[in-house]
A and B are shown apart, each in its own frame.
Chain A
Amino acid sequence: MTTTPTPPVSAPTNPLFRLGLWWDGVIDRYNALPRLYKVVLVLAFALFVYALPLVRPPLIATDRIDFGGVMFACAAYALIALGLNIVIGYAGLLDLGYIGFYAVGAYTTGVLTSYHWAWPFFLALPVAVAVTMLTGVILGAPTLRVRGDYLAIVTLGFGEIIRICVKNIEWLGASAGIKDINHPNTIGPAPKPPFDPGGLFAIPRLEWNGITPSLDHEHATHFLVFGARDAIPYYWLLLTALIVVLLGDRLVKASRVGRAWEATREDEDAAELMGVPTFKYKLMAFALGAAIGGLSGAFYASSQSGYISPDSFPLATSFLFVAAVIVGGSGNRWGAMVGGVLVAYLPERFRDFADYRLLVFGLALTVLAITRPEGLLPPRRTRRAKMMEAEIEQLEEGPVDA
């Protein structure tokens, strides 16, 4: 690391810090606002995010494939990243088989709403979350006693076991998968194909010609029809779930549990000596993370296509989840979500690269890791510690001529 030659110590010039400082500035300014402004600002931001697939801003919108579907994938990855962030970022447990939980949630929904029973989606959802959480406890109870690095390979194995199980067990649809999974219930009149699209009212989307927008009534989104035609209602539903989870995540992180996770992550032995039952809290993080993965899986299963198969859950995707959390900034919920959105969005945006997109993605991952080892938006504490280190180093060694 290069140290700046001018004492007193200024903030390091690394772009990472600049991004981080900028982010800190945003947060500080937000915190300094009066309460009313805060509420208005948050609502405006939320509205913008909800409206994004309808607004379809040029450059951001994908023209090759349905933008609503891409936004759905982004929201799904953000939710997954949020859940995995609890496991990796807060509790410091490396889980490489997170896709296993995603699959458990999806398959529970599939079995309950289509394959063996015909439950409505919203009845199956809590059951799927509960089953996934139970799976997390069953997997975690024996394996969380194993040392950190080994947990990685054990969870990796778990992810693969789940995939092989659903592929070979007839009761779970075997390799053909499960189709016709129940969608969430439509609000308003049901669509009557081929002419009546149903729903309470229609919202047109914007069509951009250069930078001039116009209303496109042909591709309107019908509020609130969950069918096979339009991915946007699913996106809205998932986004709502994401916001609920986000609020819960805030509460948990700021509570006694969140502090226990932090202590466990930083030094397990010291935490144990201070009376933190580390195993219990690790298991809790694991189960909570699993439950959120299951939630995401349930939404995925009941989404537009309503179809899942063992091939929907390859192990390599599990690595992408971990990459999302760490590239975004493990330990910072916003960072993790940004990472999730990037990992889902970039390959779709760069469809133009067609066959090269995975290659470009892999290279980008490596380059990003090397240039920003702390992630895009690391938690404030990490940056502060890093800055402190640089300061101490400079005090010890004196100014160095570049």
Chain B
Amino acid sequence: MDLGALFGNFNNFLDFTVGGLVIGAIYALVALGYTMVYGVLQLINFAHSEVFMYGTFAVAWTFVLLHGTGDASWSLGRAVPILLVALVAAMLMSAAIALLVERFAYRPLINKNAPKLIALISAIGASFALAEAMGLRDRFAKWFGLDDNLANYVAPNKARDVYSNPVSIQPHGLFHIGGYSVTDVDLVVVVAALVMMFALDIFVRRTKFGRGIRAVAQDPEAAALMGVNSTRVVQVTFLVGGLMAGAAATLYMMKIGSTRQNAGFLLGVKAFTAAVMGGIGNLRGALLGGLLLGVMENWGSAVFGSEWKDVVAFVLLVLILLVRPSGLLGEALGKARA
């Protein structure tokens, strides 16, 4: 344990904190998908990590399509046009995968009023299948004789290895806090995440669909009696979760720059942890939980060493649940005021 590594130098402290906020913002965006589905269906959507992972690939593929495979190092300003296209592509891709999961892994079970646990298994199966399908994309391309045309996308023979975005985005310092310089990439990630959160919050509180979501979360039967189409509401919930995961994927690729077919797994677990920490079903709780988790695990890795990062995250979760058994802000998608 080395408290000095964290608190000895104020610049280091800021470094770890800002780094934590950036990754925490991404956790928070992914956590939204978990928290909304849980709020509406009381089900843990284990396939959401794959929804995110497909988004990261959409971003990398967009860069390959629009820039080519030559490695380059751009400033953020130069990458913005392609990034915007990638954002749209990732959101579409993730939303499509989320809807696919809803349609094939969840809806048949919801219609049958099946026990909750079996939906978990169905989602785990979908998650395995989706991750594997991404890892085998070169084989599928070969089936259709497209492996030559799509070689840059499917990465023949190394589909399971790390797939990097050809363009790495160089962060530039914008302004200084003490001796620490805040970079444009960090700022964009955090601000974009906050904006997305804010938009979603408005959507759930102010729009007709949002009212439907809240109604179903509160009492599905009463909502159905009042004419809410619950199938549609569930669909929209998955769709919104997918869009947010797509945005998270874009920010992730901006910051990290590479992905692989199992990139979603640990991040998904962390995001779910963040959702539970903040109070599952609670949108603002997901934001708080995500940021807190990101910062605390970064601090933890500074003090205990980076190999203990995940342990810090989970121990923190247990401690929080012991003190506040329903998360920091309580669980309440349905109770959100209009």
B136 adjacent to A355 (CB under 8 Å): yes
Query: Within 8 Å of chain B (Cβ to Cβ): is A153?
Result: yes
Complex: how many Å from CA A131 to CA B46?
Answer: 31
- Identify the B interface with A (CB < 8 A): 38, 42, 44, 46, 104-105, 108-109, 112, 114-115, 117-122, 124-133, 136, 139, 265, 269, 272-273, 276, 280, 307-308, 310-311, 313-315, 317-318, 321-322, 325-326
Q: A366 touching B325 by the CB < 8 A rule?
A: no
Nearest CB on B from A176, distance (A)? 15
Minimum distance in angstroms from B44 CB to a CB of chain A? 7
Asked if A8 CB lies within 8 Å of chain B CBs, one says no
Q: In the complex, what residue of chain A is closest to B117 when comparing beta carbons?
A: A326
Interface residues of A in 76-121 (CB under 8 A from B): 88, 94
Please name the residue on chain A nearest to B318 by beta carbon. A154
Q: How far, in angstroms, from A277 to B127 measured CA to CA in the complex?
A: 38
Would you give the shortest CB distance from B144 to chain A, in whole angstroms?
A: 16
Q: Kindly list 5 other residue pairs between chains A and B, CB separation below 8 angstroms, not including A160-B310, A322-B120, A323-B121.
A: A143-B318, A319-B46, A356-B132, A358-B132, A370-B122
User: How distant is the Cα of A150 from the Cα of B325 in the complex, in angstroms?
Assistant: 9
Q: Give the chain A neighbours of B313 by CB distance below 8 A.
A: 157
Q: Do B128 and A365 have beta carbons less than 8 Å apart?
A: yes
CA distance A37 to B317 in the complex (A): 55
CB pair B310–A164 under 8 Å, yes or no, is yes
Task: Find B44's partner among A1, A152, A330 (CB 8 Å cutoff).
Answer: A152
Given A153-B317, A157-B318, decide whether A362 and B128 contact each other with a Cβ distance below 8 A.
yes
A156 at the interface (CB under 8 A from B): yes
Contact residue among B118, B269, B272, B280 (Cβ-Cβ distance under 8 Å from A369): B118
Main secondary structure of the interface of A (DSSP, over half): helix
Does B121 lie within 8 Å of A1, measured CB to CB? no
Tell yes or no: A149 within 8 A of B by CB: yes
A161 at the A/B interface (Cβ < 8 Å)?
A: yes
- From the candidates A160, A165, A366, name the one contacting B125 in the complex (CB within 8 A): A366
Nearest-neighbor residue (CB-CB) of B111 within chain A: A1
Tell me if A146 and B314 are in contact (CB < 8 A): no
Query: Out of A153, A161, A370, which one reaches B311, CB within 8 Å?
Result: A161
Give the contact-size bracket for chain A. 35 or more
| B118→A326 contact, CB < 8 A | yes
A residues adjacent to B (C-beta < 8 A): 1, 88, 94, 142-143, 145-147, 149-150, 152-154, 156-158, 160-161, 164-165, 167-168, 315-316, 319, 322-323, 326-327, 330, 355-356, 358-359, 361-370, 373-375
A316 touches B121 (CB 8 A): no
What residues of chain B lie closer than 8 Å to A150, measured between beta carbons?
276, 280, 321, 325
Contact A359 B133 (CB under 8 A): yes
Contact of A146 (CB < 8 Å), options: B117, B120, B321: B321
Provide the bound-state CA to CA distance between A256 and B136, in Å: 51
Q: Are B122 and A161 in contact (CB under 8 A)?
A: no
User: Once bound together, how far apart are the Cα atoms of A157 and B315, in whole Å?
Assistant: 8
Contact A363 B318 (CB under 8 A): no
Contacts of A361 in B (CB 8 A): 125, 128
CB distance A370 to B310 under 8 Å? no
* A373 in contact with B326 (CB, 8 Å): no
**Residues of chain B with a CB closer than 8 A to A152's CB:** 44
In the complex where A1-B112, A88-B117, A165-B311 touch, is A157 in contact with B273 (Cβ < 8 A)?
yes
* Residue from B42, B276, B326 whose CB has the most chain A CB atoms within 10 Å: B276
B317 touching A94, Cβ below 8 Å: no
Task: Provide a sorted-by-A list of 25 A–B residue pairs whose CB atoms are within 8 angstroms.
Answer: A143-B321, A146-B325, A147-B325, A149-B38, A149-B44, A150-B276, A150-B325, A156-B269, A157-B318, A161-B311, A164-B307, A322-B124, A323-B121, A326-B118, A327-B121, A330-B117, A362-B128, A362-B129, A364-B125, A365-B122, A366-B122, A369-B121, A370-B104, A373-B112, A374-B115
